[in-house]
Amino acid sequence: MDNNFLGHHISQQFNVELEDIRTRVLSMGGLVEQQIHDAITALVAADTDLAKNVVKNDVKVNAFEVSIDEECARILARRQPAASDLRLVVAVIKTITDLERIGDEAEKVARMAVELADLERPRTQYHETQSLGEHVQSMLHGALDAFARMDVEAALKVAKEDESVDHEYEGILRQQITHMMEDPRSIKRAMDVIWALRALERIGDHSKNICEYIIYLVKGKDVRHLGLQEMEKEVVEE
Amino acid sequence: MDNNFLGHHISQQFNVELEDIRTRVLSMGGLVEQQIHDAITALVAADTDLAKNVVKNDVKVNAFEVSIDEECARILARRQPAASDLRLVVAVIKTITDLERIGDEAEKVARMAVELADLERPRTQYHETQSLGEHVQSMLHGALDAFARMDVEAALKVAKEDESVDHEYEGILRQQITHMMEDPRSIKRAMDVIWALRALERIGDHSKNICEYIIYLVKGKDVRHLGLQEMEKEVVEE
């Protein structure tokens, strides 16, 4: 009975550790969401201080990645998890890499916000950039929410959204290139906008990656590089 | 004695498995190197067939990633590796993610090669793009070589090279933007070139990431997000 209790206790403690890394991934995700939000706000409002703050805060995102990574390595070494516990740890290791890269993309948007703050504003007031930004923000939010609830159907829905983000991105990109051709004096500004757009589009890709890890984690099936239809089949199949 | 033999045998078998994933990472790396080489050649020589071949071959890169990932998960579950064995598996999981993304970047270069093949060629004959391409190819080659030999000093040397790649990239980028301003008819071509350059620059970043995993693997120390000087200190310290 003592043994049983001990076994129970160890397993309880292990559960606490797994719960802890999940919580920390969500905290890291919350920080990264805030970074994107601030970077876009800074760009649209020409708020250089806010933009510089985003650049400065990227070290916090990086610190999260390093510390969660260390915790995962410790769990792998000490707990030797199997089956779904193991998949959770592997999925977390991959997820935080994507979150860290999303942080880098937010930083790029913030750097462009600093550049753009000194330039004449376009008539559109960066409306399209903001709109794409909100689109990928909602993708990331959905991905983190699906992660919190281990909800594969929600994950699939978010993954599907990436196509629509790509479509929106390509449309705005074409507009920017047309502007450059019509008014070569706008080239400097258009290029800065294009780098920001590109960073936002990448955030969509990374959010989709996170959704794929959730499906792997819950279903035990690697759905990367599958088409959306096949991915859907994996999710629906019991 | 039987037990000892069994122990020895299991460990032997485990060594074989670890050696096998290392070999497969190097095979995947070799394929990715070939993809970059072909993509750059296709761009410079306006060889659309070769470019389309690179795009087609990206599935092979993806298949490598999925299969090595599965093998790593199997090893984690069955062998419960500790210490440097565990770090090897974690480093491999991360390395193949970067190799897969390098493959994606090579595919982007190849797609731009297809676009550019139909456009008038610049006087420079894409000389600078080729030069940047060779630079990042040599970085990746160095990173894979350092991985094969577990050579942290070589890894540090390659990681340092990324700064020089970034510098070269920024120079060529400025040239392209100047061209666009001087001759707005060249904007379409310049943008295609810029996407190819950007993809090459990213290959440098991913190669640097791989070097950081090698240092982590050998030294047990996470050197991501450290400056180069601190990274050097970690490598030199015994």
CA-CA distance, B68 to B31, in Å (whole number)? Answer: 14
Give the distance from CA B156 to its chain's centroid: 15
Query: Mind listing the pLDDT tens digit of every residue in chain B (238 residues)?
Result: 344 444 445 678 888 999 999 999 999 999 999 999 999 999 999 999 999 999 999 999 999 999 999 999 999 988 888 888 999 999 999 999 999 999 999 999 999 999 999 999 998 899 999 999 999 999 999 999 999 999 999 999 999 999 999 999 999 999 999 999 999 999 999 999 999 999 999 999 999 999 999 999 999 888 888 888 888 888 887 6
Tell whether A226 is within 8 A of chain B (Cβ).
no
CA-CA distance, A196 to A39, in Å (whole number)? Answer: 10
What pLDDT, on a 0 to 100 scale, did the predictor assign at position B3?
A: 42
More confident of the two residues A160 and A222: A160
A91-138 per-position pLDDT tens digit: 999 999 999 999 999 999 999 999 999 999 998 899 999 999 999 999
What pLDDT, on a 0 to 100 scale, did the predictor assign at position B9?
A: 55
Domain containing B61 equals: 2-236
A137-162 per-position pLDDT tens digit: 999 999 999 999 999 999 999 999 99
- CATH code for position B176: 1.20.58.220
ipTM above 0.85, yes or no: yes
Tell whether A178 is within 8 A of chain B (Cβ).
no
Domains of chain A: total:
1
In this complex, the residue of B66, B187, B222 whose CB is nearest that of residue A224 is B66
Tell whether A1 is within 8 A of chain B (Cβ).
no
Cβ B195 vs Cβ B112: under 8 Å: yes
Tell whether B227 is within 8 A of chain A (Cβ).
no
Q: State the residue for tokens 């890269």.
A: A101
User: Is the pLDDT at A10 greater than 80, yes or no?
Assistant: no
Cβ A52 vs Cβ A117: under 8 Å: no
What pLDDT, on a 0 to 100 scale, did the predictor assign at position A9?
A: 55
In this complex, the residue of A77, A97, A177 whose CB is nearest that of residue B187 is A177
Amino acid making up residue A57: N
Residue-wise DSSP of A23-53: HHHHHHHHHHHHHHHHHHHHHHHT-HHHHHH
Residue of A nearest to B192 (CA): A177
What pLDDT, on a 0 to 100 scale, did the predictor assign at position A6?
A: 47
* SS3 of residue A171 by DSSP: helix
Least confident of A8-17, A21-30, B196-205: A8-17
Judging contacts by C-beta atoms under 8 Å, the chain A residues touching residue B190 are none
Cβ within 8 Å, pair A97-B93? no
Cβ within 8 Å, pair B188-A177? yes
Cα end-to-end span (Å), chain A: 37
Tell whether A82 is within 8 A of chain B (Cβ).
yes
What number is the average pLDDT over the span A17-42? 97
What pLDDT, on a 0 to 100 scale, did the predictor assign at position A1?
A: 39
What pLDDT, on a 0 to 100 scale, did the predictor assign at position B5?
A: 45
